[in-house]
């Protein structure tokens, strides 16, 4: 197709050559159209690559799978009941069972780090470990948007009050994960006058992740165990302890 230069619009097709191409019946060139007419698409066969096996990809033969067509003709696929029907269309259950299943796959930890174990907690959320792929969402900056408190590091008596305040501001149901030896039992600060000898003395703990410090994989494994606990305790949150879980005599 010849092109002529238009001083205002650049290069445009020549109308005379386009009309001559239409008169000669060249199938490779689209015919000139007016208004809203649709141009017939140009189909170019694949001549760049051919399989060495003529029977590969079924060789252009029709598919031998016919049961899907039978299902389509029967009309069973148009019913929105998973093709079970009958009594299974309505399954009686508790809303807590369904909601806890959603909560188990959508854990929102609180962005709260106390000491050196917080570095391992941050590393667990980086792209190298990516704890988000197991349904543990990015850390929230507000306790009112979180349901998992990861106590990462040494908790002193001075920080016990603010930490309990954060725990009380989190909505129910909520869970607590003790990360590191200092958080679980005091660690290297055992019997220290300024360190809480186990975070379970001031709040209930669901999962303990020992180590000094534990690796990010350990925290991810602990969070996966927490998901299992949430699924096993579905619908039983009113029976859960609110305060510390250790006896006062210890």
Q: Which residues of 31-54 are buried (b: 16+ CB within 10 A; e: fewer)?
A: eeeeeeeeeeeeeeeeeeeeeeee
- Asked if 29 contacts 40 with a C-beta cutoff of 8 angstroms, the reply is no
Which domains does the chain carry? Answer: 109-234 (3.40.50.12280)
For residue 76, the model assigns a pLDDT of 65
138 Cβ neighbours under 8 A, 6+ residues apart: 125, 132
Of 208, 181, 177, the closest CA to residue 197 belongs to: 181
**Count of C-beta atoms within a 10 Å radius of residue 186:** 19
Contacts of 155 (CB under 8 A, 6+ apart): 114, 163, 182, 183, 195, 196, 199, 202
pLDDT at 12: 47
Give which of 146, 191, 193 is closest to 171, Cα–Cα: 146
Q: What is the pTM of this model?
A: 0.59
pLDDT of residue 81: 54
pLDDT in tens, the chain (250 residues): 444 455 455 444 444 444 544 444 455 555 555 556 667 777 777 677 666 776 666 666 666 667 777 777 777 666 655 555 555 556 666 777 778 788 888 888 888 888 888 888 888 888 888 888 888 877 888 888 888 999 988 888 888 888 888 888 888 888 899 998 888 888 888 888 888 888 888 888 888 998 888 888 888 899 888 888 888 877 676 777 776 766 565 4
SS (H, E, C) the chain: CCEEEECCCEEEECHHHHHHHHHHCCCCCCCCCCCCCCCCCCCCCCCCCCCCCCCHHHHHCCCCCCHHHHHHHHCHHHCCCCCCCHHHHCCCCCHHHHHHHHHHCCECEECCECCCHHHHHHHHCCCCCCHHHHCECCCECCHHHCCEEEEECCCEHHHHHHHHHHHHHCCCCCEEEEECHHHHHCHHHCCCCCECCCHHHCCCCCEEECCCCCCHHHHHHHHHHHHHHHHHCCCCHHHCCCCCCCCCCC
**C-alpha R_g of the chain:** 33
Beta bridge partners of residue 12, listed in sequence order: 4
């Amino acid at each position: 197709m010849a092109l002529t230069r238009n001083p205002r619009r650049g290069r445009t097709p020549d109308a005379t050559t386009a009309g001559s191409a239409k008169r000669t019946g060249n199938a490779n060139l689209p015919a000139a159209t007016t208004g809203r007419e649709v141009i017939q698409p140009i189909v170019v066969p694949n001549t760049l690559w051919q399989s060495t096996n003529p029977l590969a990809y079924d060789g252009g033969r029709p598919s031998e799978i016919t049961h899907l067509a039978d299902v389509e003709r029967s009309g069973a696929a148009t019913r929105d009941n998973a093709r079970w029907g009958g009594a299974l269309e309505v399954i009686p259950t508790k809303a807590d069972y369904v909601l806890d299943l959603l909560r188990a796959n959508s854990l929102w930890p609180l962005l709260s780090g106390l000491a050196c174990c917080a570095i391992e907690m941050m590393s667990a959320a980086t792209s190298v470990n990516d704890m988000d792929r197991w349904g543990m969402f990015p850390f929230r900056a507000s306790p009112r948007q979180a349901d998992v408190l990861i106590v990462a590091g040494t908790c002193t008596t001075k920080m016990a009050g603010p930490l309990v305040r954060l725990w009380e501001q989190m909505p129910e149901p909520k869970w607590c994960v003790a990360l590191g030896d200092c958080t679980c039992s005091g660690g290297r600060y055992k019997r220290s006058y300024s360190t809480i000898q186990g975070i379970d003395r001031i709040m209930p703990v669901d999962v303990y992740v020992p180590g000094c410090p534990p690796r990010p994989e350990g925290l991810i494994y602990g969070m996966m165990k927490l998901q299992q606990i949430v699924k096993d305790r579905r619908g039983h949150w009113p029976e859960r302890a609110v305060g510390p879980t250790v006896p006062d005599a210890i």
